[in-house]
Amino acid sequence: MDLTSTPFIAMLDRHQAGPLGNAWDRDKLPSEQSAKIPRTFVDAMTVRKAVNVDKLGVPLAHELQPDDRFAFHWVIYMSARQTISPEVRDFVTGELVNPRKSKTETIPLGTIRMVPFPHLAFPRPGGVYTKGVLTNPGAPASAVASPAFAGLAVAPWTQTDHARAVDPNIWPPAVERPTQYWDGREPYIKIGRLTVRRDHGDNNNPRAASQLIDTVVQFMRVNSLAFNQRGSDVGFHKIGPRKARLIPEWQGLFCAFACEDDIVLWQRHHFQLDRATGRWMEDGVPHVAMFRRIELPEDRFDNVTLNSLFLDAPRI
């Protein structure tokens, strides 16, 4: 099978992803899912199964995660030409008897997931997560020097703090333990589940992964205001004008929840490994946190017209 064309990328917005938690059957293959599931998500899960389940040993039932319902998903495709029957020529005359027959099909080659804030609690160093849920307490949090915080990182959260981080109706937002590149408070865009198949040509693997990362970064560069909470979302009667500055506003910070084997790939895209966050396990695969900040357009506040696609999306 030969890859024959320039790749193209499709996006699934989180309005469409929201109902997936109820419709997706964890015990079935992507190809066996209901026809109601968007094709783009089926293709994303097809790629994730081929790599995470078949190669890395993640249980099939664990591949769908809580974040998938609240995420934007991108899938990169390639066209592949497959020979059905070779051409046949007359042995004596060399004349063509039967021409070669081939078919072209679209192959999902890679996928990536982007989750806007607010997020669940940041993974704990040494934590073990199954289906996105912490199954052990992880290592005790210790104070570390944090340039992002301009001081020492503080102790771990209480359960109340965790609830505040997850529920946008609880005010003020909780402050987490600061890390090397994050102050524990600033909203960040989470990128993860970067997965690219190798069974359709290894030479396309780094390029496809890079295109997916660049696509997400450019999407947020253009839509940098889309996920900011408005005063009406929080309710000025709750916070008053003095605390209005605490309303989450994205300032260009990304955090990649990266497989440990992909650190170099993310570094090529200017993501920096945050050693203070430690290392955790997601369904048996070691992960680390890597941060990147981009400069946002100076004119982003001019003639703002936010798409309700983002503002009305379901919240955690």
Query: How does pLDDT run across 60-76, given as a tens digit for each residue?
Result: 999 998 889 889 999 99
Same domain, yes or no: 270 and 160? yes
Task: Determine, yes or no, domain membership for 161.
Answer: yes
60 with 180, same domain: the answer is no
- 138 belongs to a structural domain: yes
pLDDT for res 153: 45
CA 279, CA 141: separation in Å to the nearest integer? Answer: 13
Query: What span, in angstroms and rounded, lies between the C-alpha atoms of 313 and 70?
Result: 8
User: Which is more confident, 168 or 48?
Assistant: 48
Cβ-based neighbours of 97, under 8 Å, separated by 6 or more: 88, 89, 90
The CB-side HSE value for 82 (13 A sphere, CA atoms) comes to 11
Q: Read off the tokens for 246.
A: 């605490």
267 vs 128: which has the higher pLDDT? 267
Is 155 found in the same domain as 40? Answer: no
Q: Give the start-end residues of each E strand in the chain.
A: 2-3, 8-12, 72-85, 88-89, 96-98, 101-115, 128-130, 133-134, 145-146, 151-152, 189-196, 253-259, 272-273, 279-282, 285-293
Q: Looking at the structure, do residues 55 and 154 belong to the same domain, yes or no?
A: no
Residue 261 counted as domain residue: yes
Looking at the fold, whether 162 and 62 belong to one and the same domain comes out as: no
203 in a structural domain: yes
Q: What is the pLDDT of residues 133-192, one digit of tens each?
A: 888 766 555 544 545 555 544 444 444 444 444 555 555 566 788 899 998 889 999 999
Residue 102 lies in a domain: yes
Q: What is the rounded CA–CA span in Å between residue 26 and residue 14?
A: 19
* Residue 245 vs residues 152, 206, 233, 249: alpha-carbon distances, Å: 23, 41, 14, 9
Q: Are residues 31 and 165 in the same domain?
A: no
73 and 211: one domain?
yes
Q: Are residues 38 and 18 in the same domain?
A: yes
On whether the CB atoms of residues 34 and 23 are closer than 8 A, the answer is yes
Average pLDDT over residues 245-263: 90
pLDDT value at 57 more than 70: yes
Q: Which two tokens stand for residue 201?
A: 């040509």
Judge if 182 and 201 occupy the same domain: no
pLDDT of res. 122 = 87
Q: Please state, for a pLDDT cut of 90, what percent of the chain lies above it.
A: 43
| Amino acid 164: pLDDT | 44
Q: Is 51 within 8 Å of 195 (Cβ atoms)?
A: yes
In a domain, 101, yes or no: yes
The whole-number pLDDT of residue 237 equals 58
Of residues 122 and 6, more confidently modeled: 122
180/193 same-domain check: no
Pair (69, 168) in one structural domain: no
Residue 16 domain flag: yes
Domain count, the chain: 2
Bridge partners for 281 per DSSP: 128, 286
d(CA 44, CA 192): 13
Domain that holds residue 155: 118-186+253-293
Q: Is residue 242 in a domain?
A: no
Q: What is the sign of the dihedral through the CA atoms of 178, 181, 182 and 188?
A: negative
Rounded Cα distance between 199 and 205, Å, is: 10
Lowest mean pLDDT among 21-30, 99-108, 158-167, 215-224: 158-167
Examine the domain organization and report whether 151 and 5 are in the same domain. no
